């Protein structure tokens, strides 16, 4: 199982402002399915978040390293 990070900006359409939701799943496609079940797309075929990262890529972002007000875990979802 891997961790996938669904991050948010400041759009009113996102379920959260700033921060992220972690989804633990076998692969990215399954993680998207799980996320979409909890936070359905506002527009067809568009995930309701800003970006999706695997754990390694997420740790390389400035958000994780430098911006504590963006480094908020709102929820953890599991397969």
Model-level pTM? 0.91
Higher pLDDT pick, 58 / 62: 58
Bridge-based pairing state of the strands 2-7 and 51-54? antiparallel
Residue 34 contacts by C-beta under 8 Å, 6 or more apart in sequence?
23, 25, 77, 78, 79
Residue 79 confidence (pLDDT) above 90:
no
Q: Once rounded to an integer, what is the mean pLDDT over residues 61-74?
A: 78
Helices (H), 1-79: 28-38, 55-59, 62-66
d(CA 4, CA 20): 10
pLDDT in tens, 3-59: 999 999 889 999 999 999 999 999 999 999 999 999 999 888 899 999 999 999 998
37 is written with which tokens?
A: 């079940």
């Amino acid at each position: 199982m891997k961790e996938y990070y669904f991050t948010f900006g400041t759009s009113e359409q996102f379920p959260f402002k700033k921060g992220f939701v972690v989804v633990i799943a076998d692969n990215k496609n399954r993680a998207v399915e799980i996320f979409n079940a909890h936070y359905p797309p506002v527009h067809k075929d568009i995930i309701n978040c800003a970006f999706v990262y695997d754990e390694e890529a997420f740790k390389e972002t400035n958000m994780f390293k430098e911006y504590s007000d963006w480094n908020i875990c709102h929820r953890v979802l599991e397969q």
